[in-house]
Amino acid sequence: MRGDRLLSLVLLLQARPGAAAPHLAERLGVSVRTVLRDVEALSGAGIPVYTERGRNGGIRLLDTYRTGLAHLSRAEGAGLAVGQSRLAGDLGLGDALDTALEKLTGAGGGALRGGLADGRSHVLVDVDPWMRSGEAVPHLPAIHEALLQRQRLRLVYRDSEGARTARTVDPAGLVAKAGVWYLVTAEPALLRVARIEDCTALPEPAARPPGFELATAWAALRSGVEARPRALRVTAEVHPAALALARRVLARHCSEDDGGGGTRLRLAFTSVDHAVGSLLGLGARLEVLDPEPVRAALRAAALDVAALYESLQDGNGRCAGGAGGAS
């Protein structure tokens, strides 16, 4: 174990010349005193390591010294496979990814280190969609570990309608799509990880079909979702001032534009609830002309919202139980 740590220390020193002992201790998960003892051991073994005092001091290797061994742990390899820092963090591999990159840049020398610094300063990959941060996925690390150990999972899952079910699944892979994590099961089926409310790894091994390939299974599942029929046709009139906003928000539902100066939209949805959820946010800036069930459902939803806020008002126009307006 100590030999592994000494090699990791050498690689970290290659990646971070002049690193302070507390930083190295944090990266290695040991005390500062242990780091200093390890530095002495490296020096005694002929590794050209030395310490510098002062504001810009730290622990250094001679610039001419280089080892080509990256010596990555299993977790660090998994972190590299994910690559993106936020997604690696979701899996509990954020620190492992950072350490793996430090080791690789240390083994690669100044050119690789400079290239990584240039890349990070000029290119940023943000996996989250606009107006929404990443979903909470507290069970994702446990699911990932069960996947690696090839264990079956017992889940409590909440579907899109809010119904909870207990199910036993054979995990086959994880996919991050636009910042949203999905569990692919061996059937194959698709489960949104944020909707998993409980997760237990079972002792029996997970079944995986012969020749199963995650990329192929995901492509088929994705096609099924994207090809889901949107048989409900909706015609809506948009206020001219909100036309650009409506077209942007409803882009994936627009089938064609009608006349009337381009303010009439033809839209497609899978259900009345789907239409209401997509259209209600535009408020009075959009009027559904047909079909009548969508008009009625929007009216009912708007009345429910109005009734909610009516019930929160007291006689002074302040929210009951809240601070209200300024006095």
Q: Give the up-direction half-sphere exposure of residue 288: CA atoms within 13 A in the CB hemisphere.
A: 24
2-122: in CATH 1.10.10.10 = yes
Task: Say yes or no to pLDDT of 325 above 50.
Answer: no
Q: What is the per-residue pLDDT across 31-64, written as a single tens digit (0 to 9) for each?
A: 999 998 988 888 888 888 888 877 667 888 887 6
Strand 264-269 versus strand 254-257 pairing type: antiparallel
Q: What is the per-residue pLDDT across 257-304, written as a single tens digit (0 to 9) for each?
A: 444 457 899 999 988 998 999 999 999 999 999 999 999 999 999 999
Q: Give the up-direction half-sphere exposure of residue 58: CA atoms within 13 A in the CB hemisphere.
A: 17
pLDDT at 81: 83
According to DSSP H, which parts of the chain are helical?
2-15, 21-28, 32-44, 74-82, 85-90, 94-108, 110-122, 140-149, 214-226, 243-249, 272-279, 292-311
Question: What are residue 2's DSSP bridge partners?
Answer: none
Q: CATH for 232-311?
A: 3.30.70
CB 171 within 8 A of CB 209: no
pLDDT at 66: 63
For 74, the enclosing helix (H) or strand (E) is: helix 74-82
Domains of the chain, residue spans:
2-122, 140-226, 232-311
**φ/ψ (deg, to 5) at 255:** -100, -35
Topology of domain 140-226 in CATH is SH3 type barrels. (2.30.30)
How many residues does the structure list for the chain?
327
Q: What is the per-residue pLDDT across 96-136, written as a single tens digit (0 to 9) for each?
A: 888 777 777 766 666 666 787 788 788 888 888 776 777 89
